[in-house]
Amino acid sequence: MKELRRNMRLVGMIVVTMFIALAVWFAMTVYTQGSIWASDIHNTRLSASNTLRGDITDRHGNLLATTAEDGSRQYTTNTAARRALSQTVGDIAGMSGVGVETFYSSQLMDISTSLLDRLSELFHGAEHIGSSIQLTIDGRLQAYISSQFPKGYEGAVCVMNYRTGEILAMVSLPDYDPYEIMSRSDAEVQDTAFLNRCLQGLYTPGSVFKIVTLASAITNDPNVIDQPFTCAGTWEYQGGRIVCAGNNAHGNVDLKTAFKRSCNVTFGKLAYQLGLDRLRATAELFGFNENFKFGDFVVYNSSFPRTSSGLSGLVWAGIGQGQVLVTPLHMTMIASAVANRGVMMKPMLAMQITNSLGTVTSSGQPIAYRQVLSESAASKIAEYMYEAVQSGTATRAQIQNYTVCGKTGSAEISDDKSVETNAWFTGFIYDDAHPYAIAVVIEGGGAGARMPSELAAKSLTAAIQYVG
């Protein structure tokens, strides 16, 4: 009998422990995922609400979305700007699933208002008005970048303040007009237009990933800076070979020269020296294979191979090919970390949330996400990126009277080279007064030294002018 009672107590303790664990898990899940659940387009509480949505403004207070007296949702009157902001602002139909209209629905409609407040509103006959959200986005900057994007191409541009983490622009093409969705217009809207490529576009990074490989090499073996390399244009290894662009033989080079000339052979050899474990550890420190939970938006997970697929998989990963995938926002964060002395900042989209009574209920604050590099390693990588812009593959990214650091990339997306490479540029202005980082990807754009570098220079110049 004593043994039976003891067993019953044990079972009871197990049940209570499991119940507590379940309660803690549920509370944590609500805390981390609550805004995503609340803003889901299938949330019937949202569709049934008669609340007037609050305003959405850019960082300067310019209206991006508002509710008219008749209850209709209205967006900026400039068609080009409205399209450029479409995936960022979103639409009330929820077609842009990561847009502010969807992701911040619970705040814009203030569905968390207490029952007493709602009863008071009903008693006084007042309409319930949701909170207004001021974004870190600069509307003019975003519209300008969209207008300068090469015609006929698709892709993305992300601009970020690397000191604060504020996102200044998220351009994604193709775009769409929210009014066409609201009016159920017959105008054709590409399905991919609803995709915010800055957050949801997973691209092979190509040579812009060499920033990570370089970081891993410097961190794990500081002597690699003085190591000589030889490039004959190709490198035969067991099971395959790596080729530099145009079979260009770079000859005897040091690490800085190999980086600024984007030598595939050298960086394939670096990956081989490092080995998969050390290279993956650095990539994961930079955020690859990580489920980002930023609170302001949903961003897809960048990936780096977790397990070995042989020597070929390793050396190709070292030059950003194979199984490596990254979003433009993440690439901007990587460049930002180099500029910010090795500190990666948490990206921020909502600058301030204000309720209908004028009370600020939430205010965005700069938050350091992680130290991904030592300050000395970050400085060395910035030096190499500066050389790439001064006399390497990224010379078209230069801006007069400003120090620009960057890296280009041409990412192969077909095994037989039958499809034009995606063109990349990522970099930053090395200036405390204008701490802006950028990532540009142009699908099928060819060499990163051309269109994305030029677009980056225009975009950063506009950021200096518009954001200040």
Domain boundaries, the chain: 206-347+369-466
d(CA 120, CA 138): 37
More confident residue, 26 or 455: 455
Predicted pLDDT of residue 48 = 41
**pLDDT-derived band of residue 42, with 50, 70 and 90 as boundaries?**
very low
Banded pLDDT at 37 (limits 50, 70, 90): very low
Query: Of residues 343 and 414, which shows the higher confidence score?
Result: 343
- Residue 20 above 80 pLDDT? no
Q: CATH classification of 206-347+369-466, choosing from 3.30.420.10, 3.40.190.10, 3.20.20.60, 3.40.710.10?
A: 3.40.710.10
Q: How far apart are CA 235 and CA 265, in angstroms?
A: 6
Query: What is the predicted pLDDT for the residue at 365?
Result: 95
Contact 137, 170 (CB under 8 A): yes
For residue 316, give every residue at least 6 positions away whose Cβ sits within 8 Å of its Cβ, in sequence order, or none.
242, 268, 322
Rounded alpha-carbon distances, angstroms, from residue 239 to 213, 299, 321, 339, 434: 21, 36, 16, 38, 47
Distance of CA 88 to the CA centre of its chain: 12
Give the DSSP letter of residue 348.
Answer: B
pLDDT over 70 (residue 288): yes
Region 158-170 average pLDDT: 98
How do the residues of the chain divide into helix, strand and coil, expressed in percent and rounded to 5?
45, 20, 40
C-alpha–C-alpha distance, residues 48 and 343, integer Å: 44
- Could you read off the pLDDT of 420-439 as tens digits, one per residue? 899 999 999 999 999 999 99
Q: What does the pLDDT look like over 217-255, one tens digit per residue?
A: 999 999 999 999 999 999 998 888 999 987 889 999 999
Cα torsion angle, 387, 390, 394, 398, sign: positive
Q: Is the pLDDT of residue 29 over 90?
A: no
| Residue recorded with tokens 């041409």 | 410
pLDDT digits (tens, 9 = 90+) for 56-79: 999 999 999 999 988 899 999 999
List, in order, residues 6 or more apart from 272 with CB less than 8 Å away: 237, 311, 314, 315, 318
The single-letter code of the amino acid at 452 is P
How far apart CA 204 and CA 186 sit, in angstroms, is 35
Whole-number average pLDDT of the chain: 88
Q: What pLDDT shows up at residue 190? A: 75
Give the residues across from 360 on adjacent strands. 354
- Cβ atoms within 10 Å of 370's Cβ, excluding its own: 16
pLDDT confidence of residue 112: 55
**144: which residues sit within 8 A by CB, 6+ positions away?**
459, 462, 466
Q: What is the pTM of this model?
A: 0.87
Mean pLDDT of 155-174: 98
* Beta partners for residue 404, in sequence order: 429
Q: Which pLDDT does position 19 carry in this prediction?
A: 59
* 85 CB-near residues (< 8 Å, 6+ apart): 64, 75, 76, 137, 139, 142, 143
Tens digit of each residue's pLDDT (9 = 90 or more) over 104-113: 998 998 865 5
Task: Label residue 22 by pLDDT band (50, 70, 90).
Answer: low
